[in-house]
Structure 1
Amino acid sequence: MSNNNSSSSNVVAAHKIVKQLRLEAKIRRIHVSQAATDLKNFCLQNAHKDPLLMGVPSSDNPFRPPTSCRLL
């Protein structure tokens, strides 16, 4: 009886795998060279908005070093 349950669970598992593979086969794919070109173009077009490249104005920077307070 356990052999029947085991083969039944194997069939269910195989059906799940086949269903997943069919879903993955339908995904539209592009060549890596095209994806790299698209990514490069996106980065170049948006470089002026990137704070890591352009820096952050000190007035907008929440992590700027604290200024010291002095009483005169």
Structure 2
Amino acid sequence: MSNNNASGNLAVAQKAVKQLRLEASVRRIKVSQAATDLKNFCLQNANKDPLLMGVPSSDNPFRPPKSCTLF
């Protein structure tokens, strides 16, 4: 019974070491550099952002329907 528990603990420890090695190999940059890159990206793409520029009425599926009158 304790041999099974020990092998289970070993498997958990090996999995933790594998995860730690994976996290240690991730390329990292400074927060200030990431913030600058994000700001530049947002400024470069602001003209394509529908939240900033709005959606043309002809392309807006949520525009209020036009009323029809019959003569």
Give yes or no for TM over 0.5: yes
TM-score normalised over the length of structure 2:
0.95
Consecutive unaligned residues in structure 1, runs of 5 or more: none
Deviations 1:9-56 (A, max 9, x none): 000110011011101100000011110110000000000010110111
- In the alignment of these two chains, the number of paired residues is 71
- Structure 2 residue 53 is the aligned partner of structure 1 residue 66: no
**CA positional deviation for 1:68:** 1.1
- Aligned ranges 1:33-72 → 2 under 5 Å: 33-72=32-71
The percent identity for this pair of structures is 76
Consecutive unaligned residues in structure 2, runs of 5 or more: none
Alignment partners' CA distance in 2, 1:12 and 1:52? 49
Alignment partners' CA distance in 1, 2:42 and 2:51? 12
Secondary structure of 1:16's counterpart equals: helix
Alignment partners' CA distance in 2, 1:5 and 1:69? 77
Alignment partners' CA distance in 2, 1:3 and 1:29? 41
TM-score normalised over the length of structure 1:
0.94
